[in-house]
Amino acid sequence: MSMEAAAILLLGLASLNPQAPRDRETPVSYVILADEGLQARLSSLLAKSGIAIASSQSGMIYAGCASAWRSHREQADLCIASRMTGDEPDVVLNGYVGEAPPGRRRISCVGRHGADAVFLPDDEKEGIGALRDCLSKAAGGKASPSHQIYGVRSAALDKAANSEEARAAAASVLILAVDHVGIPRGLEGDCLVEGRIKSVARGAGFAPYGRIELSIPCGAESSPGGKRRVAMANIRAGTFAAAYFDDQQHLLDFHSVRE
């Protein structure tokens, strides 16, 4: 084996080795959502992990997600994900999640992907390893379709995207998650719906997810042009919904996919 080949092999092994030097790994920027005691413990473990750096971003933008959805893990993850921006978002560590085995803590990691860390709070070695793995899984690789990350039933998406109504009348179908914090909001008579697109269907295929902001008229059942309007009551907090648009992005129809 040549010197060059050996060096490449060693570099590859080092990137997989949890004990590899810090400068051989790409740091992961994180935000912690937890009570004061757990936040201090996680910060200490992450500082020793070798791959984590605290984000300059305030966690307040995600705080409402953790408090409102403590009993509903999937909705908490969706709410957090809907507020992320950029191609390389911070990984949000949420300490307000469901039950863990006796004596252990469960932390969810939400980034480009989703993952869990389960460990004994007083076992430093186990905690560091679990958090490293959680951060790496949440931050690594290419972003996948969000229904694969956050457990949205693809059958519901397929049904909405392939419905006769969608094929006949809509140029695009947006499947989105609506979170709880003031969404929809009444802004001068309009409902502002902001959420992560669960899928975009054009014909038979799905496109990658992203963020959207839609201003949808509220109140009336139909407009003078015959386009259906969406009443505020039809958009419930924490639900998934399908919105159908024509090629001019005029709303054709809107219905809840799942509550």
Mean pLDDT of 58-79: 71
Give residue 148's pLDDT: 26
Point out the domain boundary residue: 99, 116, 143. Answer: 143
User: Are 96 and 41 part of one and the same domain?
Assistant: yes
User: Are 28 and 139 part of one and the same domain?
Assistant: yes
Give residue 41's pLDDT: 92
User: Are 127 and 181 part of one and the same domain?
Assistant: no
Point out the domain boundary residue: 143, 167, 189. Answer: 143
Query: Among residues of the chain, what percentage have pLDDT more than 70?
Result: 39
pLDDT (tens digit per residue) in 175-194: 554 444 433 332 223 334 44
163 pLDDT above the threshold of 80: no
User: Are 171 and 191 part of one and the same domain?
Assistant: yes
User: Are 18 and 69 part of one and the same domain?
Assistant: yes
β-sheet with 28-33: strand ranges across: 52-54, 28-33, 91-94, 105-110, 114-119
Mean pLDDT of 127-134: 92
Give residue 3's pLDDT: 41
| The total number of structural domains that make up the chain | 2
With CA atoms as reference, report the closest residue to 254 among 148, 178, 179, 196.
Answer: 178
Point out the domain boundary residue: 143, 160, 180. Answer: 143
The verdict on pTM exceeding 0.75 is no
Task: Round to whole Å and give the CA distance between 189 and 232.
Answer: 10
User: Are 21 and 81 part of one and the same domain?
Assistant: yes
User: Are 62 and 91 part of one and the same domain?
Assistant: yes
User: Are 31 and 137 part of one and the same domain?
Assistant: yes
Q: List, as one string, the DSSP characters of 75-120.
A: HHHHHHHHT--SSSPPEEEE-S----STT-EEEEEESSSEEEEEE-
User: Are 166 and 127 part of one and the same domain?
Assistant: no
| β-pair type (28-33, 52-54) | parallel
Q: Which domain holds residue 48?
A: 3-143
User: Are 122 and 25 part of one and the same domain?
Assistant: yes
**43, burial (CB in 10 Å: exposed 0-12, middle 13-18, buried 19+):** middle
Q: Which range among 42-46, 203-207, 216-220 shows the weakest confidence by mean pLDDT? A: 203-207
